A and B are shown apart, each in its own frame.
Chain A
């Protein structure tokens, strides 16, 4: 239909650019149109006068339009389009050969691969061969030329469209590749096509025409899209696996999510499925268990008649660190809060609580120190000594007890070292301790009141905020509603301190609701991320009642402090930290290794020599890492995992003879899993790829048009042609239409 009215196919209009072939300047066209408008206006006004302005305006408009159309034709409109020279160009026909192409969801139960072959054999390949040299490739995680379509197997474990495009572009630099035809379901395992590759394709002017295969929406399937888990945690930590999934055909039904470590079930949760196609997120809590590398599998039980159950399982690697972070707790007065916090975390083998207690004006009592000399002079005065800790906690201690240098170090501890910092309430704490006038105030999660008397002996109940209900710090019971109730049922706290106004970015997890009802709720537990670290205020010294006023078997007090203090230190970096963006390589081998290296004062050690030692699957390899210019103290390396399996990577940083530190992490290469996901046709990717490269997206039924459309391309060896537009049927129809409307109107008005 388009071609009937406009003489040429739509592709030509997409590819070509509009030009006027008449040499007369364009301003003369606009001047002519304006002159015609004025002339017709004058004639219509003189003949009809002001008697009937609407009729006059319509007649004027139609006559001016007709004149404009005639002038437009006089200027000789045309399309300038590049066309490939016959027999001098190569067309790359790329067929997806991954295992997702074996899905039998095409018409009459045929597979996607069979449908692709049929599209080509139904005449498209012949048409292309008439005009071009045709090279046929099979695509998986790389591109391979094939001689016959029989060589397609639909068994390759992965699809990397981006890598294939790059290969075509590379060949185009030496060969006249005029266009590319991609037959695929668009199920790419490398996360799509990167902008750099797209830019390169555009630069080479190779249009990519895509033919989409497979259903755009599965009928009965549930698929895990992602599972968010930290790469490293402390032993026995409470973890939240954030499971994202979507489904079609099971709305309103129940599904069961299970978290497993190999075959051991760590947690299970039943969920009600939301609307078809909508992304659903559920948090499943579980315990990380003892130190070691965990292969955490998130699994959704297959639903009745589910079409693809292989996308119901996702694996993540979690390194449960052996390290025992140390928290330094400075307390200004012996009090029950101090005693019960110490007891609360005493059984937690993952945290080392070191305390300095001011027992008398001139006496300190140290607990948890490594030896008699550690902290013998009290609170550390050097970054090396202070930054050896992972977390800091201040109790009822006046800010004036610390020197200005020590206060500066505390701020740096959070900002530069990336440590966690906690303030507890007390008669000499927070605003009553003058902390608002120190540099540390900047890192605190609230703006403290600028006055004394903020510590109030007001018994108060604790109430979780919505953020608190979701937080792992305050999760005493897995079920959020029961957890809210658990907190509201806790024995009241004896006192609460006014901490002022939470800062932007701070999160209030719990509030204190005074039992006398006066004054309203006060922020009680507030957290905030600052710089590389994190800070928190727990504005009471009366939480020990949670221990004394509940039965021995109740572990609320212990759980709260253990979870709280783990949060304080769990993300505190070591001087040398190794990492990789993805610990699980699904059907790929390329891994990016990264290390951040700091000295004992946590300043970037750019002059370090950093090596990654990799062991696993019979491989023992050492890779020298190179500095990353984007970030001081960061080092990177690319490495190829040769086989499936687990690899231990140990990063060691040295400065001269001195070892700055070492860190280890695990990554896994797993083959044959990627193609189980995103099995429906990714039309969005295919459409975008074609539109970005001036190609077209086709459904298999329309693909035969490609034989003609493909001619118009600026890639390869092409010539520029002009195609007249003045004789388009649409113009003549417009001409006739204008005259007909004018005639009909005049008849109606009785003027003819």
Chain B
């Protein structure tokens, strides 16, 4: 083999590694060792066009769970980052295609705060069950950098005081001093596509058994946010509600349509808000 050919292959290898490092390819985590999901491999098949590139896709934040927040019998966060994954994501991607002109991919992209550049390729990040998350300081630092560069984080599906307190522990590692404020009804996030002044608590599928729209002591839904210096929402905090579950189960005839509908509308508004602010 000539020296020039050797150099070519070395160069091509380095370039390819660099590209992969910058933006990781799509990966379906269902069935991966160490990942707990509600679905078995093949239960949620990949859409036929999963490999088609698109302008937009929702990033799902893969984080470390903090373990027990509630007593063992009540611990709901055992699936951590992968709760409702991937069905909730696929439903939402499809919903966006129907409801908006966003050129959305049919699949989500799972991203980690692993020090690589991957997460920066997905400026809209969704984190579920954040009442159980645990961010290490280097992860929090990267999340802060992500948000300050223009990234958007939507958090959802955590309930009551204990989960709120656990949520704050990691959040304060990201922003120790930025205030968490209730989003005013007049904020554009509730009007950018759909007018959503009148919102109700959106329960998860557990409602079908418990007939209660809340979990633990999370009686009141809270739409909160951390804003950036220009008054734009950086972190949307959907506390005491389970938007993710509502979208995941929107094809379940037993799950109330009005909550599924509101869940789509709310999530879509958050996405369009992010893409316009």
List A residues at the B interface (Cβ < 8 Å): 332-340, 342-343, 346, 355, 357-361, 363, 365, 367, 396, 426-427, 457, 459, 491-492, 495, 515, 541, 544-545, 547-552
Contact = CB atoms under 8 A, between A and B. Distances in A.
Nearest to B117: A549
User: Which are the 10 A-B pairs with shortest beta-carbon distances?
Assistant: A457-B53, A334-B275, A335-B55, A333-B101, A548-B120, A552-B148, A339-B275, A334-B102, A549-B120, A360-B100
A343 B150 contact: yes
A365 B123 contact: no
B276 A365 contact: yes
Contact of A334 (B53, B100, B121): B100
A549 B122 CA distance: 10
Interface string B117-140: 100110100000000000000000
B101 A338 contact: no
27 contacts: A333-B103, A334-B56, A334-B101, A334-B276, A335-B56, A335-B102, A335-B275, A336-B56, A337-B55, A339-B150, A339-B276, A339-B277, A342-B276, A360-B99, A361-B101, A367-B276, A396-B55, A427-B55, A515-B15, A515-B19, A544-B123, A548-B120, A548-B121, A548-B123, A548-B151, A549-B22, A549-B120
B120 A357 contact: no
Contacts of B192: 359, 365
Interface string B12-29: 000100010010000000
Interface residues of B, number: 29
A336 B275 CA distance: 6
Contacts of A359: 100-101, 192-193, 272
A351 to B, nearest CB: 16
B12 to A, nearest CB: 9
Interface string B236-277: 000000000000000000000000000000000001101111
B197 interface: no
B55 A548 contact: no
Contact of B193 (A365, A515, A541): A365
B55 A333 contact: yes
A491 B274 CA distance: 22
B145 interface: yes
A548 B101 contact: no
Nearest to B122: A548
Nearest to B98: A360
B126 to A, nearest CB: 15
A335 B120 CA distance: 15
B5 interface: no
Nearest to A336: B123
A495 B56 CA distance: 13
A337 B148 CA distance: 17
Contacts of B15: 515
A333 B150 contact: no
A365 B274 CA distance: 13
Given A335-B55, A336-B55, A339-B276, A551 B145 contact: yes
A363 B123 CA distance: 24
A527 B15 CA distance: 31
Contacts of B55: 333, 335-337, 396, 426-427, 541
Given A336-B275, A545-B120, 16 more contacts: A336-B56, A357-B276, A358-B101, A359-B101, A359-B192, A365-B192, A367-B276, A396-B55, A426-B55, A515-B15, A548-B120, A548-B121, A549-B120, A550-B149, A552-B145, A552-B149
Task: Kindly name the residue among A332, A360, A549 whose own CB sees the greatest number of chain B CB atoms within 10 A.
Answer: A360
Contacts of B274: 339
Contacts of A547: 149-150
Interface string B214-248: 00000000000000001000000000000000000
Nearest to B146: A548
Contacts of B276: 334, 338-339, 342, 355, 357, 365, 367
A664 to B, nearest CB: 33
Contacts of A544: 123, 150
Nearest to B277: A339
A613 to B, nearest CB: 41
Task: Kindly name the residue among B55, B102, B121 whose own CB sees the greatest number of chain A CB atoms within 10 A.
Answer: B55
Task: Kindly name the residue among B102, B151, B275 whose own CB sees the greatest number of chain A CB atoms within 10 A.
Answer: B275
Contact of B19 (A336, A337, A459, A541): A459
Contacts of A541: 55
A126 to B, nearest CB: 85
A338 B271 CA distance: 13
Task: Kindly name the residue among A333, A334, A359 whose own CB sees the greatest number of chain B CB atoms within 10 A.
Answer: A334
A549 B120 CA distance: 6
Contacts of B148: 552
A549 B150 CA distance: 10
B205 to A, nearest CB: 28
A491 B22 contact: yes
A715 to B, nearest CB: 77
A485 to B, nearest CB: 17
B275 A492 contact: no
A487 to B, nearest CB: 17
A365 B272 contact: yes
A548 B272 contact: no
B21 to A, nearest CB: 11
A365 B53 CA distance: 26
Contact of B22 (A346, A358, A457, A492): A492
